[in-house]
Amino acid sequence: MKTEVSSPSGGGVPDAMIVHAVNVTGSQEIPIEVGPSLSVRSVTDAIAHRMALPTDVAWSLRDDRSSAYLDDEGAIGDQIAPGSRVVITPKSHLGGGLLG
Amino acid sequence: MADAPSIGPEAARWDAPSAKAAPLAMHLHLERGGEAVAVEPVTPSDLVDPLAELWFDSHLRRGFSGFGLEQMRALLKPVHRDDPELGRIWEGFDLETRNPGGEVHSGFFTRESLEHVASRGARRLIAEGRLEAGSLYYFGLGPAEGADPWAEGEPGAPIEGPPGRGAPGALRVPLARLLDRATPAGGETTEGHHPVFFTRSARDRAERIARRGGDAQPPVETGGLFVGPLCVCPDTDEIFSVVTDVLEAAETEATKYSLTYSGPTWARIQAILRARRKQNPSRHHRLQGQHHGHNFLPLEGATPCAACDYVESCTRTTAHLSSDDRTWCRAVFPGEPWQLSQVFGLDARSRPVEAFYGQRGGMLVRRGYYVIDDFEDSLLDEGA
């Protein structure tokens, strides 16, 4: 996956920010540079790809400080501050439905 | 050894080169021996668990416990046989690596270890209206389109570990001290599995939590996560797991046939784990796996079979990992070859049964474990 990172400019809103992505068990953590205007959905997909997480599972991002899930459709720069830690969480469930 | 995975010195960028595509694909057929109707690529993420298992066996359990998964490099080689009717059948693949001591290790993984790739291809066919849900299909491993890792004389296709995955921290504990006081449980331990110990209180608490949902009206699934340290034996270099506690999954969305961890569920678990890692005795505590209850009867409570009175044990039980369970475990514990799973269920006569799993051959398979009365600081090696 290739996602745009805007080029440096002279001030105002930063063109790029670093976030720290961690998996739910805390065993994997990567810093990643993103454009603040990117949607959370595209950032989530790119993090999952970068961390080599399973591609047949949907993922969501949670702000590690507030525990709140980020809005997939909104821009990431509107929802977390630069340097934040986000937890990439599977949208998946346990269940024995097919055994029943 | 570090307590936490290392973070690369430079921030990754979106436009950084992605991992190379795997040269494998799953070929889906609607008829046995028929033409492939779909070719589903095997992605680098599909190979993380097999690669991690090789890392565990060739490095961590061989005295190189400080070696990170992200440093792993291996060669992927096909394993096939020629069938007179069906032609060449790809039975699986070998991964081969060399550890820092110069020893070459390899591991064989069957095509069944990539069954989820076939499922992904089937879902795609269903979405495109080319396969009916629930229909039978066949799958076989083969080269990805345009790739030929199978050519004679090829050394194999290189694959590498995912970024951000350092070495796991571990306590130094002589294995013999635990084995001397351990009681086997949960069935046979297949050769090659790493030793797993549960304190009696953790094992009993896991079952209480898992079966609690059976008392609800209507019954629901309940469960939690195993917590404890990985340990390395200073005498043998063996790595083993000790589960000292169980964290109940709270604030879940639960039904009779499903259990979903919510944001607050994960937030609470991670807060507890973070707090424990600040304490010296529990600084190496990590999530080691999951357990839950299938609190319903097999086949919707159908009458036990005619031979029920004569068989020693009932094979019709709900103590199995379901397809959803396996997907969840792949998502939550990717690249963690020490991962454990336990399902508490019922047999056809409503008797409690359990099944315990660990990773082998790239899949979660049945295995046993040991129970110990306690796990106190006096067991630690000096300097641990």
Model confidence at B78, pLDDT cuts 50, 70, 90, reads: confident
Token duo for residue B304: 């036990």
User: A46 in contact with B at a CB cutoff of 8 Å?
Assistant: yes
DSSP H or E run through B298 = none
- Other CB atoms closer than 10 Å to residue B136's CB: what's the count? 9
Tell me what the mean pLDDT of segment B129-153 comes to: 82
B20 falls in which pLDDT band (50, 70, 90)? low
Compute the distance between CA of residue B161 and CA of residue B49 in angstroms, rounded to an integer.
10
**How does DSSP assign B203-222, residue by residue?**
HHHHHHHHHHGGGSSS----
What is residue A56's predicted lDDT score, i.e. its pLDDT? 87
Judged by phi (left if over 0) then psi (alpha if -120 to 50, else beta), residue B301 lies in left
Domain annotation covers residue A2: no
Q: What is the DSSP letter of B111?
A: G
Q: Which of B6, B10, B14, B226 to mutate to test the interface with A (most CBs of A within 10 A)?
A: B14
Check if the beta carbon of residue B29 is closer than 8 Å to that of residue B89: no
* Contacting residues of B for A90, CB less than 8 Å apart: 328, 331-332
Could you tell me the CATH number of the domain that includes residue A76?
Answer: 3.10.20.90
A11 found inside a domain: no
Question: What confidence tier does B245 reach under pLDDT thresholds 50, 70, 90?
Answer: very high
| Confidence (pLDDT) at B156 | 81
Domain contains A79 = yes
Bridge partners of A19, per DSSP, are A32
B197 and B178 Cβ atoms separated by less than 8 Å:
yes
Q: Is residue A57 part of a domain?
A: yes
What distance in Å separates the CA atoms of residue B220 and residue A79, rounded to the nearest whole number?
35
Which range, A16-20, A92-96, B299-303, is most confident?
A16-20
**Closest by Cβ to A95, choosing from B11, B45, B324:** B324
A residues 13-32 closer than 8 Å to B (CB)? 18, 20, 23-32
Smallest Cβ distance to A30: which of B7, B261, B335?
B7
Q: Are B300 and B243 in contact (CB under 8 A)?
A: no
User: Which are the contacts of B51, defined by CB distance < 8 A and separation ≥ 6?
Assistant: B69, B72, B74, B95, B159, B161, B335
Weakest-pLDDT range from A39-48, A80-89, B28-37, B304-313: B304-313
- The answer to the question of residue A12 being in a domain is no
For A69-80, the pLDDT digits (tens) are 999 999 999 999
Give the CA distances from residue B367 to residues A29, B57, B298, B311, B329, in Å, rounded to whole numbers and listed in that order. Answer: 30, 17, 22, 22, 16
- Homologous superfamily (CATH) of B171-379 is Cytidine Deaminase, domain 2 (3.40.140.10)
- List the helix and strand counts (H, then E) for chain B: 6, 21
Q: Per-residue pLDDT for B316 more than 90?
A: no
Q: Residue A17 phi/psi, 5° resolution?
A: -140, 155
Residue A9 located in a structural domain = no
**Statement: residue B19 has pLDDT above 50:** no
- pLDDT (mean) for B179-204: 91
Q: Please state, for a pLDDT cut of 90, what percent of chain A lies above it.
A: 69
Q: How far is CA B256 from the centre of its chain?
A: 24
How far is residue B325 CA from its own chain's centroid? 11
% chain B with pLDDT above 90? 69
Q: Containing domain of residue A24, as a range? A: 17-91
Q: Percent of chain B scored above 70 by pLDDT? A: 90
Query: Inter-chain contact B267–A62, Cβ cutoff 8 Å?
Result: yes
Using CB atoms within 10 Å of the CB of residue B307, give its burial: 0 to 12 exposed, 13 to 18 middle, 19+ buried.
exposed
Domains in chain B: boundaries: 24-160, 171-379
- Read off the tokens for B35: 């033409």
Residues of chain B with C-beta less than 8 angstroms from the C-beta of A23: 334
Which has more confidence, B93 or B304? B93
Is the pLDDT reported for residue A3 higher than 50? no
User: For residue B201, what pLDDT band results from cuts at 50, 70 and 90?
Assistant: very high
Q: Is B263 exposed, middle or buried (0-12, 13-18, 19+ CB in 10 A)?
A: middle
- Flag whether residue A54 sits within 8 Å of chain B, measured between CB atoms: yes
Residue of A50, A55, A94 lying closest to B324 (CB–CB): A94
Q: Which chain B residue has the Cα nearest residue A16?
A: B13
The pLDDT assigned to A6 comes to 39
Please choose, from the candidates B216, B223, B170, B220, the residue with its C-alpha nearest in 3D space to the C-alpha of residue B194: B170
A4 and B14: CB-CB below 8 Å? Answer: yes
Under DSSP, the state recorded for B130 is S
Is residue B18 over pLDDT 80?
Answer: no
pLDDT on residue B7 = 28
Pairing of strands B183-185, B239-243: unpaired
Overall number of domains in chain A: 1
pLDDT band at A8 (very low <50, low <70, confident <90, very high): very low
A48 in a domain, yes or no? Answer: yes
Torsion of CA A75, A80, A81, A86, to 10 degrees: -120
Mean pLDDT of chain B: 88
pLDDT computed for residue B129 by the predictor: 93
B218 pLDDT higher than 50:
yes
What pLDDT, on a 0 to 100 scale, did the predictor assign at position B21? 62
Rounded to a whole number, what is the distance in Å from the CA of B257 to chain A's nearest CA? 5
